Structure 1
């Protein structure tokens, strides 16, 4: 629950309320119907004036960020003038960082920068904590990440102060958000891999989907808190207090037995596995475990196991899988976070839009929960990604042919946006699970970390698109997301299917899986060269 709360808190703490330029002659100007009508009558630019003087800005952007500038006799318009001060609508949000730091119009880059740097922190956290989790264990990394998250949350809450000034407060907040982003990656990547490594193949989908369910529950918790606490500092404090109990999870979570086996710590792994067997009222298969130990000992004695990013490019098959997954993660992060952070385009109450987005996301997870163990991973993923692209491109004819019927256009665009949210959520959830099943144990968290790191470039591009491209045309980002998703869906067709297959322990086992486009002879040669006839015992047999 915690990582999505930290990701989407920004949607409320830095929400952009309706605003306009401050009336140049009124000292106590406020955002209300009477004042807005007075400003509109004398200073708000008309559509014609905006097209003449601000061709690159949308009409809404022009009318919010510029005001009329009259000639000396105040009878003719000399030009449009950039606003110096603004008034904000406080009917929905009482106080946001956008208002406090005036992050609108020509200063909207300040808002975008915070979120883009946050996703850059995702990249650093995914890279660092992913490597640390493969080296020192999933449990330790998760424990440290929860502590870092709580510290960063309090720094976000109390770091920015009026007495420090805008820029020192802004810098402190950005640093705190970077730490927050790093900690969420340590929790998400390590937790997802830990859960996947604790169960047999048929239960991996359940683990992944349960985590996705709690991801949505975190969103519901956030929107409830945001609805109750409508100032950014109070909301941030409440969310931070919520993280404190998670700091004690280290004393509850077990370490991954699969990771312990890969490190040769067989006694510790056996203790955990025996405990799991007792809790599940199952018999512990000592013979199978001894066979697993011998296999792992032989692997560690006679073969140098490559750990780190270099192992992701060691053979042809895993190299193609790695590069393809890098692009898939970039595409899915671009699509998922771009759509999720753009619920304002739904033209509904912001709290209702966010909650509705969460409901659609939950429905998407329920659907893939029902179909993935029947249809596999590959077909649904490719289908959802390609459908996203096709539906996103429907925006073009809707905007072109329904420009006169605004009511119908808004209704159809709402349906398109809801559909895109569903498809983006489904494909994003599948790629998480699919990735863990395509990489071997000794580099699984490292690989997931690097995929996540590359993926955050997509999240950064999504944030940039929503803040900048949408200023030119509000549907511009959707078209971009659609094209990228379409390409990703087509490229994913080369992946092997992983349904009902054990998690690969080594790079050689990944090589044996092959690629869809490999010839039969090529796959057979790869299989023979990697001793495919021997069936290594896996933890799933216990």
Structure 2
């Protein structure tokens, strides 16, 4: 029999045969191709979606950019106006500051200097001994940014902590989205969840641009964070499930290229768009365009098979066959089978011992990888210089790390040794920064920090691939969602971990390094997934990685006793 779908009866016959033989999706890919023309078309369209989550993930750098500020003294406006008739604006600002703003000592490890006070002013221009708090608001340096939420909502002095509030709200939204949209994807499907996430991003992102205060802005940023994780996780899983084992690394890693491109595109947009609310609209409204994917991108056949929707799966595979012009022999000739209709739930990740061990291990690996990534990103962003250049270079370093993560897991190192080596490299690089001179040879410490971030970025890419291959289809999205939730907790903790340097300067670096090295060794406890077929059911997911499983070149041959024990565990 050939899969041509010329008549309804042929489709019905194939669907009946599928139910009888319990065909595995990877077996069908042996005939239609693991990365054929139709799959490529869908994949590259999905990659475009990832640009928006990347833009939102780093948009706060520009939306809430901090600029120099000082007390506004209205009685000196006339002097400023007279001065500016024949002099530069910068000269006039300095003249007014000298008359109204006291100097404060600002010391660091490489020397001392004086700066204008941010929160105090002289009582009057003739009395330079008595100061008072700013009583008429603040003025801002708008030479680089015309408008940011830092300026618009006066996030200075006593209100300074509110800037961190919006960042924490966004991270909390990402945590909620990791679990909420991940669970929803496994329940109603990948494509509907993607559409819901895109709608959330378009609506909440647009509303955020018109926020009247910092509280509304932070609240809406939480929804944007949730939608960002919903889009990224769902897109990542859908793209991975459309292809076969030999192309999973390329597909998984290729998405990271578009993520890096989205970050670089953000810096270019921010360079030309100086008003935060216009930039916010530019990265939010395009999400509505991706709602058209409902009629363009198919649902994941793997997910449809896992929940017993064979008719729909056969219909989608028929599109593959029609576009790729291939044929599929009779279904009964193959030996890989689906066990039963398998709908995964949150608790299935922790109900069985082997699944629980792998899930908890992956959660720690995600936590550590992103703890390092965002912790080191904060360090590189504080190196000084032009904000746009720093941000662009920070995004550009993602390209070589993504290239490395594309090839390294496909070498003899495999997934787990690749992940282990990058985490160990990041940990060692951080430890070495503690032994480098602070000022004269600061470039050594900077170089080691960049090496650490490069390794951490590579680890983040690899852990995505590793997780998608370890979790079985019924709980793949929720599994990645829970793992990603651990990463979001790390994002929330990073600022607090950096603040503990007040207790002891090297303490944050020691904690980051210890976490990285321990995670590097812990990753070796996970099973290697290179060249293995994705586990299709909860039983296969539980058996995969057992020390006494049997393996062949075509995948796993499940031990009968082990399978029976696993099924009984799932029925409890």
* TM-score under structure 1 length normalisation: 0.82
What is the deviation of 1:151? 0.5
Give the SS at the match of 1:242.
helix
Partner SS for 1:377: helix
Q: Distance in 2 between matches of 1:184 and 1:7?
A: 8
Superimposed CA distance per residue, residues 120-141 of structure 1 (whole angstroms, 9 cap, x where no aligned partner): 1111111111111111100110
Following superposition, the deviation at residue 343 of structure 1 comes to 3.8
What is the SS of the residue equivalent to 1:309?
Answer: coil
Residue 376 of structure 1: aligned partner: 414
The DSSP-based 3-state class of the residue aligned with 1:15 is coil
SS in 1 for 2:347: helix
Match of 2:494 among 434, 437, 462: 462
Indicate how the Cα distance of structure 1 residues 529 and 105 shifts in structure 2: closer, same or farther if over 3 A, else same.
farther
SS of alignment partner, residue 46 of structure 1: strand
CA distance in 2, matches of 1:64, 1:412: 33
2:331 to 269, 279, 287: 287
Q: 1:69-93: CA deviations, max 9, x gaps? A: 89xx97979xx97666543322221
Offset, 1:488: 1.8
How much does 1:472 deviate? 8.6
Equivalent position of 2:85 in the other structure: none
Judged with a 3 Å threshold, the aligned counterparts in structure 2 of structure 1 residues 507 and 244 are, in CA distance, closer, same or farther, namely closer
Q: Which residue does the alignment assign to 2:225? A: 181
496-505 or 242-251, which deviates more: 242-251
Q: Deviations over 1:184-237 (max 9, x none)?
A: 122111111111111111111111111111101111211111001011011112
SS in 1 for 2:151: helix
Q: Residue 210 of structure 1 is aligned with which of 230, 247, 254?
A: 254
Of 397, 400, 424, the residue aligned with 2:456 is 424
Instruction: Mark the structure with the bigger radius of gyration.
Output: 2
Is 1:44 the counterpart of 2:103 in the alignment? yes
Match of 1:442 in 2: 474
| Change in CA separation of 1:453 and 1:345 when aligned onto 2, cut-off 3 Å | same
1:451 aligned residue (469, 483, 494): 483
Equivalent pairs, count: 495
Q: Which residue of 2 aligns with 1:359?
A: 396
8 Å contact 1:133–1:190 — kept in the other structure? Answer: yes
Distance change >3 Å, CA 425–CA 68, structure 1 → 2: same
CA shift digits 1:409-450 (9 cap, x unpaired):
1x2233233223311211111111111111111111111111
Q: Structure 1 residue 506 and structure 2 residue 550: aligned?
A: no
1:299 corresponds, among 340, 361, 369, to: 340
Instruction: Tell me, yes or no, if the aligned pair for 2:174 and 2:485 is still in contact at 8 Å.
Output: yes
Is the contact made by 1:32 and 1:89 (CA closer than 8 Å) also made in structure 2?
no
For structure 2, list consecutive stretches of 5 or more residues without a partner in the other structure: 1-50, 81-88, 551-555, 565-572
SS of residue paired to 2:397: helix
Provide the C-alpha distance between the structure 1 equivalents of 2:265 and 2:106, rounded to a whole number of angstroms: 41
Q: Matches of residues 105-184 of structure 1 in structure 2 within 5 Å?
A: 105-158=157-210, 160-161=211-212, 169-184=213-228
Are the equivalent residues in 1 in contact too, given 2:543–2:563 (CA < 8 A)?
no
Is this contact kept in 1: 2:122–2:128, CA < 8 A?
no
Moved more, 14-23 or 497-506: 14-23
SS of 2:139's partner is strand
Residue 524 of structure 2 corresponds to which residue in structure 1? 493
Aligned partners of 2:304, 2:247: CA distance in 1, in Å? 20
After TM superposition, the structure 1 = structure 2 runs for residues 2-81 of structure 1, keeping only pairs within 5 Å, are: 2-20=52-70, 26=76, 32=90, 35-36=93-94, 39=97, 43-46=102-105, 65=118
Map residues 404-419 of structure 1 onto 2, 5 A cutoff: 405=440, 408-409=441-442, 411-419=443-451
Instruction: State yes or no: 1:312 paired with 2:344.
Output: no
Asked whether 1:266 is paired with 2:310, we answer yes
- In 2, Cα distance between equivalents of 1:265 and 1:412: 58
Unaligned runs of 5+ in 1: 52-57, 162-168, 533-542
Deviations 1:91-130 (A, max 9, x none): 2211111111222344332111111111111111111111
What secondary structure is seen at the aligned counterpart in 2 of 1:510? Answer: helix
Structure 1 pair 224–176 and aligned structure 2 pair: CA distance change class (3 A): same
Q: Given the alignment of the two structures, is residue 100 of structure 1 paired with residue 152 of structure 2, yes or no? A: yes
Distance 1:7 1:59, change over 3 A: farther
Q: Is the 8 A contact 1:145 1:183 kept in 2?
A: yes
Change (3 A) 1:520 1:436: closer
Query: In structure 1, what is the Cα distance between the partners aligned to 2:471 and 2:114?
Result: 47
SS at match of 2:382: helix
Q: Given the superposition, is the C-alpha separation of residues 113 and 382 from structure 1 closer, same or farther in structure 2, using an over 3 Å criterion?
A: same
1:512 CA drift (Å): 2.9
Deviation at 1:528, TM superposition (A): 5.6
Measure the CA separation in 2 of the matches of 1:387 and 1:343: 18
> Offset at 1:290?
7.9
Aligned-CA RMSD value: 3.5
Pair 1:239 & 2:283 matched? yes
The answer (yes or no) to whether the contact 1:346–1:417 under 8 Å persists in 2 is no
Q: Displacement of 1:314 after TM fit?
A: 1.9
Distance of aligned partners of 1:288 and 1:429 in 2 relative to their CA distance in 1, 3 Å threshold: farther
Instruction: After TM superposition, give the deviation of residue 527 of structure 1 in Å.
Output: 4.8
Of 378-387 and 15-24, deviating more is 15-24
Pair 1:122–1:402, CA change in 2 (3 A)? closer
Determine the C-alpha separation between the residues in 1 that align with 2:90 and 2:503. 27
Residue 327 of structure 1 aligns with which residue? 364
Aligned equivalents of 1:380, 1:479: Cα separation in 2: 23
1:540 equivalent in structure 2: none
Which whole-Å CA distance do the structure 1 matches of 2:225 and 2:93 have between them?
Answer: 41
